Amino acid sequence: MSFAYLTIRDRLPQILTKVIDTVHRNKNKFFEDNGEEGVEAEKKALSFFSKLRNEIQTDKPVLPLTDNQSDTELWNQYLDYQKTLLNKGETPSWFKSPWLYVECYMYRRIQEGLVLSPPISEYDVFREGKTESFFQSQPAIIALCTYLQELKNNVANLSENQKKEELSKLLQVCLWGNKCDLSISGGLDNSQKFSILSSLESFMPFILVNDMESVWAVLSGSKNLESGKELMKRVDIVLDNAGFELITDFVLADALLSLRLASEVHFHAKCMPWFVSDTTKHDFNWTIKHLQAANHKWMSKCGVNWKENLQRSCWIYHEHLFWTLPHEFCMMAQTAPDLYSELQKSDLVIFKGDLNYRKLTGDRKWEFTVPFFQALTTFHPAPLCSIRTLKADVQVGLKPGVGEQLSSNEPDWMISGKYGVVQLSTSV
């Protein structure tokens, strides 16, 4: 049985059941905020979500969206496109459509259910889980914030080699932080319970593609040889999950500035709740605000510094609806040319997480040894690096025999999150 099949059969209905439970539990809150209208909206949303779960479980056709949002037309066009891929008379349905498409579509339908249920349209059904996961990771977050502040205090004394080691360490932290997503666990606790820093060495053998040296080369080649002046480098991070993973991204972004490997970091987040734990604007701001007010010296120092980074515009927040479309990234230049040209301004675009990897590679059944560059097909806006733990069955750029050997020894190596890649493509 494929993981795609199990996802549609078990995982998506399980996530929806949790959504239904969350909305129901918050009935009183909706009443307090909006009176009877809130209670009516809760009922409406609940019946929408139950119907949606039933559509999935009984393999009903994928329906056009009806909520008149700025992306509604694009989704409906994409559905029409899916129809053209089928034989005449056939309709795309939950079990008979590409996995990537219907999985994205489910999260967009959840959004539709809320949009059609005012006044609770802005409610994030996944927020409770994200907040809980953040608090459960508290010790690991403290360890990381403390490490970062020590690094910053000592940065002037570091040799180039030591800087390279620090970058590699923080890239690994960022990588393993991607284990903590709540979609793979069906919304159940998947937080980082202990400091990750002491485990990095023992996790090293599980990094299947390790391009960290080349990432260093991309970022450290910042001296203008003629004038000796440092060039300004821009790094973009296409964020994935809130909670511990987002902290690892912030720590990396802060260290990039302190190590003078970048002068600007641009973050890209989701404009609606997505894949349970993905970062929205609210999560982004809440995290920094919460750290600022934390009762721990180094945590709050991080929060204060990060707020300043945003105020000084050396950290810049972006949102684009393309990130919550089902499209693979090779369609970005035509579907979202403004976003594509924004990314072209970057010196390095870091794509966090598994879903981004699936979209980078078009979620195809590539041979394991196909070069990353080739799997990106036409998507080459700037040098780009995927930092991802394996949670879906696509992987490229492996040495001959590696994928086959793993498949025979560990049947679930591509979906367990145990393995990871830091995989770079420099061709533009």
Point out which residues bind ligand F6P (CB under 6 A).
7, 103, 178, 181, 183-184, 240-241, 275, 353-355, 358, 391-392
Q: Is 245 in the site for Mg ion (CB under 5 A)?
A: no
Instruction: Name residues contacting Mg ion, limited to 331-390 (CB under 5 A).
Output: none
Rounded to a whole number of angstroms, the distance between the first and last alpha carbons of the chain is 38
Residue 392: name its binding partner from ligand F6P, Mg ion, none (Cβ under 5 to 8 Å by kind): ligand F6P
Long-range contacts of 27-33 (CB under 8 A, 24+ apart): 30/120, 30/123, 33/119
Measured from the CB atom, the residue of 46 and 252 that comes closer to ligand F6P is 252
Q: Is 42 in the site for Mg ion (CB under 5 A)?
A: no
Q: What are phi and psi of 230, to 5 degrees?
A: -80, 140
Q: Tokens 């972006």 belong to which residue?
A: 318
Measured from the CB atom, the residue of 207 and 299 that comes closer to ligand F6P is 207
Contact, 317 vs 281, CB < 8 A? yes
Contact, 277 vs 185, CB < 8 A? no
| Selected range binding Mg ion among 39-47, 156-164, 233-241, 344-352, rule: CB under 5 A | 233-241
Q: How far is CA 341 from CA 11, 125, 207, 266, 329, in A?
A: 36, 33, 31, 14, 13
Residue 354: name its binding partner from Mg ion, ligand F6P, none (Cβ under 5 to 8 Å by kind): ligand F6P
| Selected range binding Mg ion among 40-48, 159-167, 178-186, 229-237, rule: CB under 5 A | 178-186
d(CA 22, CA 19): 5
Q: Least distance to ligand F6P from the beta carbon of 361, Å?
A: 11
Contact, 234 vs 264, CB < 8 A? yes
Per CB under 5 A, the list member of 172, 241, 305, 386 interacting with Mg ion is 241
Measured from the CB atom, the residue of 112 and 283 that comes closer to Mg ion is 283
Which H or E run contains 421?
strand 420-425
Measured from the CB atom, the residue of 245 and 347 that comes closer to Mg ion is 245
Q: Least distance to Mg ion from the beta carbon of 190, Å?
A: 11
Q: Tokens 């007010």 belong to which residue?
A: 293
Q: Least distance to Mg ion from the beta carbon of 167, Å?
A: 24
Q: Is 283 in the site for Mg ion (CB under 5 A)?
A: no
Contact residues toward Mg ion (CB under 5 A) are 181, 240-241, 275, 278
